[in-house]
Structure 1
Amino acid sequence: MTPLLIYPLAAMAEIAGCFAFWSHLRLGASRLWLIPGCFGLIVFAWLLTLVPTDVAGRAYAAYGGIYICVSVVWLWSVEGVRPDRWDVIGAAVTVLGAAIILFGPRSA
């Protein structure tokens, strides 16, 4: 799998896992929501280990930008809140930053 597939999948797993906890703790959903929440967070952590990089910090830094972008998509598609221009601009800037971190030339 490539980082272009891994990162969005990891973001969806993390957001879904955290949203399950949010649903229980903030929205009064059943404690049973914590089970898929834990599963989502485990899947998220596992997916990040598949990123082809020698150092975890670089994988996490690049992931942060993708996470923000996918969070804005979640905001719109799951929570029904249309992103405003600042959400879109901010997400675009972070994706650019993630691309620089992930694909920038490295010296040996």
Structure 2
Amino acid sequence: MTAFAYIGAALTEIAGCFAFWAWLRLDKSPVWLMPGMVSLALFAYLLTLVEADHAGRTYAAYGGVYIVSAIAWLWLVEGARPDRWDMIGGAVCLCGAAIILWRPRAA
């Protein structure tokens, strides 16, 4: 469930932020803002589904998933192929997220 919540949160956050980017930077209609706001609200909801003792730890671990998802967005939506440094950086961030989320915790 955690992986699905994080991936869903990343996709909805990127889509919501892209809607604002499209409006402000690509001169799209302000109508783009409505689905963008809905998407950002869904993003916030999805993060609440992650099983973690503290919100801050959930958000910190999510950061790695977000970075990898943003690199995928760069490639799949924007058509810019990530370079090896994008891939290495994404892998490092994802490893960091796994350490934060799944390291052994004292009871």
Question: Smaller-chain TM-score range?
Answer: over 0.9
Displacement of 1:64 after TM fit?
0.2
TM-score (norm 2): 0.99
Q: Tell me, yes or no, if structure 1 residue 32 matches structure 2 residue 34.
A: no
- How many residue pairs are counted as aligned between the two chains? 107
Q: Tell me, yes or no, if structure 1 residue 67 matches structure 2 residue 66.
A: yes
Partner residue, 1:104:
103
Q: Which amino acid aligns with 1:104?
A: R
Q: Which amino acid aligns with 1:55?
A: H
Displacement of 1:3 after TM fit?
1.0
Q: 1: CA distance between counterparts of 2:8 and 2:81?
A: 22
Percent identity between matched residues is: 61
Q: Tell me, yes or no, if structure 1 residue 48 matches structure 2 residue 50.
A: no
Displacement of 1:98 after TM fit?
0.4
Displacement of 1:28 after TM fit?
0.2
- Runs of 5+ consecutive residues of structure 2 not aligned to the other structure: none
Displacement of 1:4 after TM fit?
1.1
Q: 1: CA distance between counterparts of 2:74 and 2:39?
A: 18
What's the CA shift string for 1:77-97, capped at 9, x where partnerless? 000000000000000000000
Displacement of 1:60 after TM fit?
0.1
Q: Tell me, yes or no, if structure 1 residue 83 matches structure 2 residue 82.
A: yes
TM-score (norm 1): 0.98
Q: What value does the CA root-mean-square deviation take over the aligned residues?
A: 0.4
Q: 1: CA distance between counterparts of 2:11 and 2:27?
A: 22
Q: 2: CA distance between counterparts of 1:66 and 1:91?
A: 8
